[in-house]
């Protein structure tokens, strides 16, 4: 049984077909890259998987359970987490609070216990605070726990976004252009980082990326989108030689 099974996924924005007949079979533990030129529908696929949009057609099954039409928070609780192309941290909150918020669904006390600070409140707060700080500590962010997220340097903001996603305890992690704005040495570090969290958290990873260095370096399998349609699929070497892919990226003449 595959972890994520997407069949005939289609999404229209008005008359514009953003994703057309997208199919995906993702096994547990896999690292799959989705590439394609700007506007080819990659982020839309993520938005469909995580429930931000409701698909026009097709089905998304996660662990053999239909999830299209489920509210995003509930999908997250099932074990799908994501990061964003343009960083979307909770800017005015501390690094620690950013991670604590990601524990929302697994904090067990009632509103009544919260407004009187009684019952399980104290123990639960301690538990999630410790867990958040442990997590931050593992990725070298514990020293900045009390910094406001917006004041972190860019690279750390990217890292914090991934840590925050990890705090939701996912089995599938969707990374949307994690290397955007990074230089080659930073990309190398990011590759190691992705491999590390993949192993330590036994994750399945979906990766959208523009940086060929990154996708070719770590993905076992690639999917290439162009204008919402899947134009190629296969191992990085096959994709590199694929005529259609070159055409999509460089234009028809250059490909010939």
Residue whose CB is less far from other proteins, 127 or 221: 127
Phi–psi pair at 28, nearest 5 degrees: -60, 130
Q: Is 103 in the site for other proteins (CB under 8 A)?
A: yes
Quick count: other Cβ atoms within 10 Å of Cβ 90?
16
Return the residue matching tokens 């239909």. 66
Q: Is 139 in the site for other proteins (CB under 8 A)?
A: no
CA dihedral in degrees (195, 200, 202, 208; nearest 10)? -30
Question: How far is Cα 133 from Cα 180, in angstroms, rounded to an integer?
Answer: 27
Q: Is 76 in the site for other proteins (CB under 8 A)?
A: yes
Q: Which of 12, 84, 227, 249 binds other proteins (CB under 8 A)?
A: 84
Q: Is 112 in the site for other proteins (CB under 8 A)?
A: no
- Token representation of residue 187: 């990309």
Q: Is 114 in the site for other proteins (CB under 8 A)?
A: yes
Question: How far is Cα 29 from Cα 34, in angstroms, rounded to an integer?
Answer: 16
What's the residue count for the chain? 256
Q: Which of 7, 12, 57, 125 binds other proteins (CB under 8 A)?
A: 125
Q: Is 126 in the site for other proteins (CB under 8 A)?
A: yes
Judged by CB under 8 A, which stretch of 68-76, 182-190, 217-225, 238-246 contacts other proteins?
A: 68-76
| DSSP state for residue 24 in the 8-state scheme | E
- State in angstroms the smallest separation of the CB of 153 from other proteins: 19
Among 23, 3, 72, 47, which residue's Cα sits nearest to residue 208? Answer: 47
Binding site for other proteins (CB under 8 A): 50, 52, 71-73, 76-77, 81-82, 84, 88-93, 96-97, 100-107, 109, 111, 114-117, 121-122, 124-126, 128-130, 133, 142, 145-146, 164-165, 167-168
């Amino acid at each position: 049984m595959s972890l994520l099974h997407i069949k005939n996924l289609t999404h229209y924005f008005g008359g514009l077909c953003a994703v057309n007949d997208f199919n995906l079979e993702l096994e547990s533990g896999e690292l799959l890259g989705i590439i394609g030129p700007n506007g080819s529908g990659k982020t839309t696929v993520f938005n469909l998987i995580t429930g931000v949009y409701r698909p026009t057609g097709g089905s998304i099954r996660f662990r053999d359970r239909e999830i299209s039409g489920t509210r995003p928070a509930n999908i997250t609780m099932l074990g799908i987490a994501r990061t964003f192309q343009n960083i979307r941290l909770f800017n005015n909150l501390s690094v620690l609070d950013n991670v604590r918020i990601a524990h929302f669904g697994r904090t067990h006390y009632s509103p009544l216990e919260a407004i009187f600070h009684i019952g399980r409140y104290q123990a639960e707060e301690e538990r999630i605070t410790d867990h958040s700080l442990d997590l931050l500590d593992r990725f070298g962010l514990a020293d900045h726990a009390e910094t406001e997220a917006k004041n972190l340097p860019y690279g750390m903001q990217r890292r914090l976004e991934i840590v925050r996603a990890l705090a939701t305890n996912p089995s599938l992690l969707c990374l949307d252009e994690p290397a955007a704005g990074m230089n080659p040495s930073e990309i190398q570090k990011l590759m190691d980082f992705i491999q590390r969290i993949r192993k330590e958290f036994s994750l399945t990873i979906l990766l959208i990326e523009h940086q060929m260095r990154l996708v070719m370096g770590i993905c076992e399998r690639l999917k290439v989108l162009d204008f919402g349609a899947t134009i190629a699929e296969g191992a990085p070497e096959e994709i590199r030689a694929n005529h259609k892919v070159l055409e999509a990226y460089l234009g028809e003449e250059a490909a010939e």
